[in-house]
Amino acid sequence: MDTATAAIANAEVSVDLDFDAVVIGAGVTGLYQLYKLRELGLRVRTFEAASGVGGTWYWNRYPGARFDSESWTYGYFFSQVLLDTWDWSEHFAAQPETERYLNHVADVFDLRRDIQFNTRVTAACYREGTRSWEIVLEDGSRCTTRFLITAVGVLSAPTMPNNIPGIASFKGRSCHTHHWPKEGVDFAGKRVGIIGTGATAVQAIQEIAKTAGQLTVFQRNPNWCVPQHNGRISERDMRDIRTRYPEILALCRTTPSCYIHGPDLRATFEATPEERAALWQKRYGEPGFGLWQGNFRDTLTDRAANALASEFIANKIRERVHDPVVAEKLIPKNHGFGTRRPPLENGYYEVFNQPNVELVDINETPIECVTGDGIRTSRKDYDFDIIIYATGFDAITGAFERIDITGVDDVRLKDTWANGPQTYLGVFVKGFPNMLMAMGPHGGLGNYTRSAEYSVEWVTSVIQYAAQCGFTRIEATAAGVREWTDHVLALGHGMLANEIGSWMTGVNRNVEGKQTPRIMRYSGGHPAYREYCDAAAAAGYRQLALA
């Protein structure tokens, strides 16, 4: 028997632990995970850094924050009570409504009694002797648990520019969109600068431009923004949506990214130019992600097809922005449509026709520093009352790396993933027994709650199986990790999005070592992902070592 096997065999598993399961995070994933584990009768504790529930929808209170998923496709489907008791007011609800919804969920299931708020987990260490995890909190206190479930989110580790000196010297007000103050910010008549033009900035810019005295947008790379066509939901519409919930769920289960939008089954060049223009025009006029997710089936894999779709949108931008120089600056040149996640907008391009809005291309005139009064570029000094950093996230693995997670033999998760995530089904990591990742890397993204519900249910079923069989140690096998990771990488090749730097490929130029695109997510579509995971369960979790 080698030392590792002996340590496993000699584990003192009957030791008293504080909890059966600890969940990190109380966003849509963590809330449902808590509910499901409690349903199993486990003693569960959730730790959450925020002062309330909601995760993304707690933190991101910036003006204009709202869904890009249809509200009625994003909410939980696991509970008929929730479906019956919640009315959405808009097809793409704003942040306050979604935060209220998640508080409603916490109320209905009395979830808060097991959540410790204002509590950041700083470290988690696996103890082979007791087959348990020791959790270390920000205040230095500790607790023990058999299972550790991470529900830390893919977009929860915000980043500030690391290449701009002087940020702390600014005398006005500055904030990152993720850390937006609860009391809000008044922009009326103010001089405002915003850095970034991702989905967050696109929403914030449209809102701030309504009242700011002067809004200056510092853009490094533009994105392909497409109309959202948001609208109110009347009582009658809501009644109709409620009767259609079963078919809405069924539809989301058939599409690759769990949206109601699925691809047109034709390839781009199988259609005539007139048919192509007709489809794009139709999708451009419809609400939501239709143009992205409901385009010709090869739009995101065939360069020539992608170039044509991109040119269609470029021409829309040229039509909507009056100044042709500004229009060209707003058209992405370094990536094709849909290869980064396209922001949805309700009048974004028209904002740049307003006299109080200026676009600064920082490739032409780089930001040199932040001064006490504003931002200095290579061309001029801009004075501001408020600077907004809409500079994104250390996505997918960032929240994991902000916790010092050590597994068997004190190996760090961060080191295990130095060359990219290695997982089994996006849930397990070899060397980190009893740690299960709900919505971990190498799982599917897309319309999030739809995939999170499945992820949580799969995680729960493994724990239930272990409990029923009396297993106290679950670990991915090396073969399981190799097979899944190879599968994810093989599927990801050929997807144009995986060649482009974006949060979806783990690129964040503000974080050392995150400059090169990597395959971070499962690209085979959710139906295939679920099939794979269901088959693994049906086969008795053969790729897991259970002890």
CB of 503 to ligand NAP, least distance (A): 5
Interatomic CA distance for residues 108 and 113, integer angstroms? 12
- Burial of residue 292 (CB within 10 Å: 0-12, 13-18, 19+) is buried
Backbone φ and ψ of 489, nearest 5°? -65, -40
Q: Are 428 and 441 in contact (CB under 8 A)?
A: no
Q: Dihedral sign, CA of 80, 84, 90, 96?
A: negative
Scanning 27-35, 162-170, 299-307, 427-435 for contacts with ligand FAD by CB under 6 A, the matching segment is 27-35
What are the CA-CA distances from residue 110 to residues 13, 35, 113 (Å)?
A: 31, 9, 7
Of the residues 48, 298, 394, 453, which one makes contact with ligand FAD according to CB under 6 A: 48
Interatomic CA distance for residues 207 and 512, integer angstroms? 33
Identity (one letter) of the amino acid at 207?
Answer: E
Q: Does 25 bind ligand FAD (CB under 6 A)?
A: yes
CB of 451 to ligand FAD, least distance (A): 8
Interatomic CA distance for residues 245 and 73, integer angstroms? 9
List the structure tokens of 280. Answer: 């794009």
- Scan residues 375-404 and list those touching ligand FAD (CB under 6 A): 399, 403
CB of 276 to ligand FAD, least distance (A): 28
Backbone φ and ψ of 127, nearest 5°? -115, 105
What are the CA-CA distances from residue 444 to residues 25, 374, 422, 488 (Å)?
A: 19, 41, 15, 10
Contact partner at residue 42 from ligand NAP, ligand FAD, none, CB < 5 to 8 Å by partner kind: none
Contact partner at residue 392 from ligand NAP, ligand FAD, none, CB < 5 to 8 Å by partner kind: ligand NAP
- Scan residues 153-172 and list those touching ligand FAD (CB under 6 A): 153-156
Interatomic CA distance for residues 423 and 427, integer angstroms? 7
Q: Which of 431, 526, 437, 435 is nearest to 481 (CA)?
A: 431
Q: Does 343 bind ligand FAD (CB under 6 A)?
A: no
CB of 170 to ligand NAP, least distance (A): 15
CB of 35 to ligand NAP, least distance (A): 24
Q: What is the four-CA torsion angle of 174, 27, 155, 135, rounded to 10 degrees?
A: 100
Contact partner at residue 220 from ligand FAD, ligand NAP, none, CB < 5 to 8 Å by partner kind: ligand NAP
Contact partner at residue 192 from ligand FAD, ligand NAP, none, CB < 5 to 8 Å by partner kind: none
Q: Does 223 bind ligand FAD (CB under 6 A)?
A: no
Length of the chain counted residue by residue:
547
Q: Which residues here bind ligand NAP, judged by CB under 6 A?
A: 66-68, 155, 161, 163-164, 195-201, 203, 220-221, 341, 390-393, 503, 509-510
Contact partner at residue 399 from ligand FAD, ligand NAP, none, CB < 5 to 8 Å by partner kind: ligand FAD
Contact partner at residue 28 from ligand NAP, ligand FAD, none, CB < 5 to 8 Å by partner kind: ligand FAD
Q: Does 121 bind ligand FAD (CB under 6 A)?
A: yes
Scanning 64-72, 219-227, 425-433, 460-468 for contacts with ligand FAD by CB under 6 A, the matching segment is 64-72
Q: x/- string (CB under 6 A) for ligand FAD, residues 430-449?
A: ---------x-------xx-
Interatomic CA distance for residues 543 and 545, integer angstroms? 7
Q: Closer to ligand NAP by CB, 67 or 432: give it.
A: 67
Q: x/- string (CB under 6 A) for ligand FAD, residues 134-153?
A: -----------------xxx
Q: Are 153 and 28 in contact (CB under 8 A)?
A: no
Q: Closer to ligand FAD by CB, 504 or 533: give it.
A: 504
- Scan residues 475-514 and list those touching ligand FAD (CB under 6 A): none
Interatomic CA distance for residues 503 and 129, integer angstroms? 38
Scanning 19-27, 356-364, 368-376, 525-533 for contacts with ligand FAD by CB under 6 A, the matching segment is 19-27
Three-state secondary structure string covering 334-393: CCCCCCCCCCEECCHHHHCCCCCEEEEECCCCCEEEECCCEEEECCCEEECCEEEECCCE
Contact partner at residue 56 from ligand NAP, ligand FAD, none, CB < 5 to 8 Å by partner kind: ligand FAD
Q: Does 207 bind ligand FAD (CB under 6 A)?
A: no
CB of 465 to ligand NAP, least distance (A): 33
Residues contacting residue 267 through CB under 8 Å, at least 6 positions apart? 296, 297, 298, 302, 305
Contact partner at residue 544 from ligand NAP, ligand FAD, none, CB < 5 to 8 Å by partner kind: none
Binding site for ligand FAD (CB under 6 A): 24-30, 47-50, 55-56, 58, 60, 65, 67-69, 74, 120-121, 151-156, 200, 399, 403, 439, 447-448, 452
